[in-house]
Amino acid sequence: MKVVIVGGVAGGASCAARLRRLDETAHIVMVERGPYVSYANCGLPYHVGGVIEKESSLFVANEETFRGQFAIDVRTHCEAVNINAAEKTIDLRNVITGEVITESYDKLVLSPGAAPIHPDLPGIHLPGIFSVRTVPDVRRIREWLAASNSLSGLESYSGFQTVVKKRAVVIGGGFIGLEMAENLVHLGLDVTLIQRGNQILGPIDVEMARYVERFVAQKGIHIVLNDGSAGFRQTEKGTLEALTRSGKAYPAEIVVLGIGVQPEIALAQTAGLEIGQRGGIRVDDQMHTSHPDIFAVGDAVEVKDYNTGEWTLVALAGPANRQGRIVADVICGRDSRYRGTQGTAIIGLFGAACAWTGVSEKTLQRRGDTDYEKVYIYPNSHAGYYPGAKMLAIKLIFRKSDGKVLGAQALGLDGVDKRIDAFATAMQFGATVYDLEETELTYAPQFGGAKSPVNFAGMVAAGVLRGDMPIAHWHNLGSGLLLDVRHPEELAVESVPDAVNIPLDQLRSRLDELPRDRDILVFCRSGQRAYYAVRLLLQNGFNARNISGGMMSQSVFQRQETVAGTLY
């Protein structure tokens, strides 16, 4: 059996290695257009910033490993240019010599990946404008930055000397855009990130994105929302300017495009393979394309969203690797199937993390699904009495009718990955919020609390569903009386206009100050004291609801109204 694999990173490389493990006699050809196979795409931005010092660290396995350990016929600088599906042949072009040869195959596996979107804007081809996909891309960026030390930059007066700070503009606030922005800040650049939509990190909800925007802004990234890229020009001094739709011009010594990626389907189209409505190669759950002898995996394919059943594009390494393994299994006669993509992801930013799994609220809204509720909690990353605890912000989305966990989003300086991993694992099994209440997780003061944030999220959500704690949200309060049960000292720092203040420990003795004919919307700092107050009020015959997440949530819902379109 002869298998040709197009693409030597992530999905392709995983497929090749597993294929050899399953079939010692197969002839396996793996072709890669670039100079390297099996490199760490996810590490590329960190090599720009110097966090990963050596380029060689990016190579997970090299050609020699594939040849020596796996007896795989690896060919780099080799681009697949045409498929003849009827003849079961593929044309391969040596990108250095231009020579084209034709290889036959019994099975063909496409792992071409997705290319950075490179919109057809004026000036997009000017020197100094980069995408980030391959090791050579990163090498060019590093060389450009080294060379541009002689370029003029932003002058700022710092103490006794005038510092010339180079400026970068990053277009797009997704994974690559944000990771590149962070790494350019590390290098000392003045970084502006321009985002066409009203939030960064599209997969999460806008109020959660607000925390991330605020955090990275504090770390030095200027975030511009609601303004798209309109092109680029070069000034007489040689500096680039990134132009936006609103008419602004942001000068920069370097521009990085992180607008997104699109599946590479040109090769698939030569074979007449079916392309889905999202623009990816359409595959079944065994990664068969519309042609029985051709498989496709990774960023180039459309997969089913496990939460919604919709077709979706996922550009992540984990799914690509799993799909590569599945293809190897299927080629070798095994019944492996891809179960869809749950949508678990994480991004690290300046020592913090933002992570999510499952479905977002905006996706539910887009689908017209109203059978959901959400809670916001702000627990400590570990026991508060042990030094170093950091606050987490967690949004849990669950089905109102049966408590099934639908999605979770979290961010903070510590322990974000751990909690989203627990949510993601529970969701794999269709967990409800009642299950989360009971999950038995590790606890020692360095690592968590006797009630884990996962338990706590479950308890709060279950309290809502059981009717113990009716809730309200800042964006949908109605006309109730706002009751702040914090201590007056806390109000001095930050308060909500028109809210009545009765501290929790005075509430029992001051019930006669509250109306019995209005909703009472209770809040505190993060929701716990408000919960106690709501219980107290409900049992005393008041109509009370807890504003989920209290002041901690208020700050981002408020920002939702104010930051759009502004630079901060």
d(CA 563, CA 216): 14
Window 464-503: contact mask with its own copies (x via CB under 8 A) = ----x-----------------------------------
d(CA 303, CA 286): 11
97 binds its own copies (CB under 8 A): no
**Segment contacting its own copies (CB under 8 A): 30-38, 74-82, 369-377, 531-539?**
531-539
Amino acid at 134: T
| 332 belongs to the catalytic site | no
Scanning residues 169 to 208, which ones bind its own copies (CB under 8 A)? none
d(CA 110, CA 425): 30
> In sequence order, what E strands does 69-177 have?
73-75, 78-84, 89-94, 100-104, 107-110, 114-116, 129-130, 154-158, 161-165, 167-171
Q: Which two tokens stand for residue 402?
A: 């049966």
**Segment contacting its own copies (CB under 8 A): 92-100, 284-292, 391-399, 429-437?**
429-437
439 binds its own copies (CB under 8 A): yes
The CA-CA-CA angle for residues 559, 416, 55, to 5°, reads 105
- Smallest distance, Å, CB 123 to its own copies? 32
Scanning residues 540 to 559, which ones bind its own copies (CB under 8 A)? 540
Among 180, 212, 345, 520, binds its own copies (CB under 8 A): 345
d(CA 131, CA 237): 24
- Smallest distance, Å, CB 20 to its own copies? 8
- Smallest distance, Å, CB 355 to its own copies? 5
**Segment contacting its own copies (CB under 8 A): 27-35, 52-60, 107-115, 267-275?**
52-60
Scanning residues 277 to 296, which ones bind its own copies (CB under 8 A)? none
The smaller minimum CB distance to its own copies, of residues 231 and 348, is found at 348
The smaller minimum CB distance to its own copies, of residues 255 and 530, is found at 530
- CA distances to 324, 377, 471 from 380, in Å: 39, 10, 22
Among 119, 318, 515, 565, binds its own copies (CB under 8 A): 318
Window 385-424: contact mask with its own copies (x via CB under 8 A) = xxx-----------------------------xx-xxx-x
40 binds its own copies (CB under 8 A): yes
The smaller minimum CB distance to its own copies, of residues 383 and 491, is found at 383
Window 118-147: contact mask with its own copies (x via CB under 8 A) = ------------------------------
Number of residues in the chain:
568
Burial class (CB in 10 A: 0-12, 13-18, 19+), 201: buried
Among 450, 478, 489, 497, binds its own copies (CB under 8 A): 450
**Segment contacting its own copies (CB under 8 A): 229-237, 270-278, 370-378, 450-458?**
450-458
Placement of tokens 């290889």 in the chain:
103
Pairing of strands 543-547, 471-472: parallel
49 binds its own copies (CB under 8 A): no
DSSP string over 292-330: TTEEE-GGGEEEEBTTT--EEE---HHHHHHHHHHHHHH
Q: Buried b vs exposed e over 450-487: b needs ≥16 C-beta within 10 Å? A: eebbbbbbbbbbbbbbeeebbbbbbeeeeebbbbbbbb
Burial class (CB in 10 A: 0-12, 13-18, 19+), 390: middle
The smaller minimum CB distance to its own copies, of residues 233 and 334, is found at 334
Among 297, 353, 433, 502, binds its own copies (CB under 8 A): 353
- Please name the residues in contact with 476: beta carbons below 8 A apart, sequence gap of 6 or more: none
426 binds its own copies (CB under 8 A): yes
The smaller minimum CB distance to its own copies, of residues 393 and 420, is found at 420
DSSP string over 251-290: EESEEEE-S-EEE--HHHHHTT--B-TTSSEE--TT-B-S
**Segment contacting its own copies (CB under 8 A): 294-302, 312-320, 473-481, 545-553?**
312-320
155 binds its own copies (CB under 8 A): no
Which residues are marked as active site? 524
